[in-house]
Amino acid sequence: MSSQGITAILLNGGFGTRSGANKPKQFLNLNGIPILAYNLLAMQKVEAIEMIIINYPDGSLDKVREIVTDYAITKPVQFVEAGDTRHASVALMLEHVTTPRVIINEAARPFVSPEDFQLLIDCPAKNVSLTLPIPFTVAPVEPTTGKITGSLERDKLRNIQLPQKFETEDLRAAHEHAKKNSIVFTEDATLVAVAGFEVEFINGPETNFKITTPFDLKLANYMFRKENDRDE
């Protein structure tokens, strides 16, 4: 690996129970292509990405290998079994990173583009995440009592997107900090920030949403149909 290279960590270990499907959502077809393949194809086009580390749900290694082969991914690919949580999965995949920088994305974001990855790579910040402004009002609540407990300044909040870029050693140190303090995070920009490292944000495209629910699947299929209609 070169001293300037980047490893891409592709989170692919979820079972997607909220999607309503009878198999992991990343294996569902979207516009005739498995959801997982979209990230692989985008990463394939980014010259700076030297290696892809991808995890897989229990029992799904052969299916993941098949998709990598079927879509002619020529970059080196390392396969890692998923951990018990997203947080644990990133920590396990980090053990295989040998480059000074790493990019993290989720397989369930099929609308990511090579330009999104390049935007992060070109950003001079060491640690940076794509985000979106929050266009609606949010407030802290107490779920057990059903009460609103205060207010939050919308201008000081962001919807955290992926992909994200980190210095590998900063990310490793942040995971070690979380382990020592018994903290589990659902994404890595806040993990790195809480560990004391500077993390910047830049706005990403609204289309780069994560497929989680049956509605998300319907929306994604609709977007592809509209795109195909324009191309005809």
Q: What are the pLDDT digits (tens) for 7-21?
A: 999 999 876 555 445
One DSSP character per residue, 46-113 reads: -TTEEEEEEEE-TT-HHHHHHHHHHTT--S-EEEEE--SSHHHHHHHHHTT--SSEEEEEETT-TT--
Per-residue pLDDT tens digits for 83-142:
999 999 999 999 999 999 999 999 999 999 999 999 999 999 999 999 999 989 999 999
Residues 39 and 43: their CA atoms lie apart, in Å, by: 6
> Which position has the higher pLDDT, 151 or 14?
151
Burial class (CB in 10 A: 0-12, 13-18, 19+), 46: buried
**pLDDT at residue 227 in the model:** 73
Listed range (24-38, 62-76, 164-178, 217-231) with the worst mean pLDDT? 217-231
* 188, 192, 193, 196 alpha-carbon torsion, rounded to 10°: 170
Q: What pLDDT does 231 receive? A: 61
| Measured distance CA(6)–CA(119) in Å, rounded | 14
Residue with structure tokens 């999965």? 89
What is each CA distance from 178 to 61, 91, 129, 182, in whole angstroms?
29, 11, 19, 6
Tokens of 129: 């995440």
Dihedral sign of CA atoms 72, 213, 85, 120 in order = positive
158-167: strand order across its sheet: 77-81, 49-56, 6-11, 101-106, 158-167, 128-133, 200-203
Q: Does the pLDDT at position 1 exceed 50? A: no
The candidate with the shortest Cα–Cα distance to 128, out of 95, 92, 170, is: 170
The pTM is what?
Answer: 0.90
